[in-house]
Amino acid sequence: MEAPAETQKQVDGMIFHILSEAKDKAEEINAKALQEFNIEKAKVVKSEKEKIQQEYERKVKSIDTERAIARSTAINKSRLEKIKARQDVIMQIAADSKERLRAELRDQAKTKEFITSLIVQGMLMLLEDHVQVRCRSADDALVSSCLAGAMERYSQAIVKETGAAKTCKLALDKETKLPADCLGGVVLTCQNGTIVIDNTVDSRMGLVLEQAKPTIRRLLFHGQES
């Protein structure tokens, strides 16, 4: 039988061995836990960094978009203001032209020749045997005095161009009148009003102004951006 001292020594050795293994195991567990913690921490940090980066990029993109929209809005506003300013100038030219035409049309001799020419132009476009002529009520007498001359000039123009004799009977439209506030001129109709030629001063002026717009823009706004 072993002595108590030897037995105690063996027991102490076993305890030391067990404690040593337990300590090593604990350190291993702690090391593994620390490693896993660091891995998880790295994942969390990376994830948060990515979120921050994405948020930053989103805000930058949002700011860039807002700036682009603001710039586009400013450009469009400037362009619209420029277009409006140009349109105002053209409208003023139209208004000035209208007033000058009113003054010119006060000359009865010039106006009679002008009205006669308008009627003849319309007749040559229609080439009909019977045509009605509309005008303002205030111009009834003036236009009536132009009909005979217009019919004669029409026949002469047909003979000159074709060698054929052709006449057209003109009649003043006493029922339908042009608006009193228009500049004057005539509207020619035939075939019971189904065919209409608008030779009013307003129509002709609008046509001339429309055709002249490119020239007006070139003269007044040369070198400016569209």
Using pLDDT thresholds of 50, 70 and 90, give the confidence band for residue 224. Answer: low
pLDDT at 19: 80
Res. 3: pLDDT tops 70: no
Q: Is 45 helix (H, G, I), strand (E, B) or coil?
A: helix
Query: What would the mean pLDDT of 79-84 be, rounded to a whole number?
Result: 87
Q: What are phi and psi of 171, to 5 degrees?
A: -140, 140
Query: What would the mean pLDDT of 166-178 be, rounded to a whole number?
Result: 96
Res. 1: pLDDT tops 70: no
* Residue 186 · residue 133 · CB < 8 Å: yes
Using pLDDT thresholds of 50, 70 and 90, give the confidence band for residue 150. Answer: very high
Q: What is the pLDDT of residues 86-109, one digit of tens each?
A: 888 888 888 888 888 888 888 888
Largest Cα span, the chain: 163
Half-sphere exposure of 111 (CA within 13 A, CB side): 20
Q: What is the pLDDT of residues 55-81, one digit of tens each?
A: 888 998 999 999 999 999 999 998 888
Using pLDDT thresholds of 50, 70 and 90, give the confidence band for residue 223. Answer: low
Q: What is the pLDDT of residues 9-37, one digit of tens each?
A: 787 778 887 888 878 887 888 888 888 88
Distance CA 98, CA 92 (A): 10
Distance CA 106, CA 137 (A): 16
Q: What is the mean pLDDT of the chain?
A: 89
Distance CA 167, CA 208 (A): 30
Res. 144: pLDDT tops 90: yes
